[in-house]
Structure 1
């Protein structure tokens, strides 16, 4: 699969807008309700909803800035704590998902951080009925590479096969969409640095893995 940078950027923008529509729309609706509401208790509830929607919007924007963007403000190595905080915030909005971490390295190269974030996003989306999300990432100085594994386990895993084909680089260009664009971006990113992506899917688990040469 070969995709122009412009088309891929457009689809990633579409994906970001799609994911931001709900919390931003909730902010707009909350403000409309607040303008008409006179009851003190209901106004307090409106403020709670506005605060929640604003927090979710901010968390998602921060996540997508690093997951899709140029990761400005960081050097070649990015603190793992940055990615962990963004994923923690994203998962905190889903009480049915338990998140486990294994992060022995303090920092990872930018391509590894972007892969980690997008794997986490794919893994979280695979758990619409809840479950467990296990995330492990390490920079192996002896191999000069980052190793990343994300495992989703739960009832009736939801995984679009087109996302898998995009990760493998076998998705026809005409089938690329805003849903599969993040996976296509990871495929191009891995190939550009000589890395490898893979996934294994079962009825109750999805495992995403990457080995990425880096600094």
Structure 2
């Protein structure tokens, strides 16, 4: 699978805009309500809506800045705590999802952090009825090894995302939904690494091995 950089960047931008549309739209609605509302109690509720929407927008922007973008530059190590804070902030918006961490290392290579964030996002989206998101990873034998497991009463995983991770999705079939997985495939391929995907009725397991360079 060979994807032009411009096409992939465009689709990633589309994905970013899609995910930000809801909280930004809620901000607009909240401002319109606030301008018309005179009741003190209702105005307070409008302020709460604005605060929640602003926080959601900021959390998603910070997440995607590192997951899709070049935050911090290239090639350096990134604190695991930074990635954990970004994932925890997104999970906090969904009370039906719990995240559990097993990360013995304080730092991981930038490529591993970007992969972790994107795989965690795939795992979160698979838990349509809630559940548990387990995230584990370490650097061992010269490679970053990551495992993300989503377990819940119903797993929603689009096989096309798996094809994008494996590099078997035709460029013509790429969409904003599958662009992050296609980006991960190109990232892993450039490092000589790869992914494993296992899907069951109540579990999704995503694994990645990325040689450290």
Range class of TM-score, shorter chain: over 0.9
> SS where residue 41 of structure 1 aligns?
helix
Matching residue of 1:158: 156
- Tell me if the contact between 1:71 and 1:110 (Cα under 8 Å) persists in the aligned partners: no
- Shift in Å, 1:172: 1.1
* Shift in Å, 1:73: 5.8
The corresponding residue for 1:190 is 188
For structure 2, the 5+ residue unaligned runs are none
Question: What is the number of equivalent residue pairs in this alignment?
Answer: 213
- SS of the aligned residue for 1:134 comes to strand
Report which stretch shifted further, 65-74 or 13-22. Answer: 65-74
Separation (CA, whole Å) in 1 of partners of 2:209 and 2:148: 12
- Alignment deviations for residues 62-84 of structure 1 (CA, whole Å, 9 cap, x no partner): 00000000122686100000000
Query: Does residue 14 of structure 2 align to residue 27 of structure 1?
Result: no
Query: Using the alignment, how far apart are the partners of 1:74 and 1:42 within structure 2?
Result: 47
Deviations 1:161-210 (A, max 9, x none): 10000000001111100000000000000000111111100111000000
User: Which of 176, 179, 194 is equivalent to 1:178?
Assistant: 176
Shift of 1:120: 0.3
Which position in structure 1 is the counterpart of 2:135? 135
Q: TM-score, normalised by structure 2?
A: 0.98
3-state SS in 2 of match to 1:3: coil
> 2:71 maps to what in 1?
71
Of 161-170 and 73-82, deviating more is 73-82
CA contact (8 A) 1:126 1:159 kept: yes
**For residues 162 and 35 of structure 2, what CA distance do their matches in structure 1 show?**
46
Distance 2:69 2:196 in 1: 23
Distance 2:13 2:27 in 1: 21
For the residue of structure 2 that corresponds to 1:150, the secondary structure is: strand
Work out the CA distance in 2 between the residues paired with 1:180 and 1:15. 9
Name the Cα RMSD after superposition. Answer: 1.0
In structure 2, the residue matched to 1:39 is 39
Query: Does residue 1:106 correspond to 2:91, yes or no?
Result: no
- Which residue of 1 is the match for residue 10 of structure 2? 10
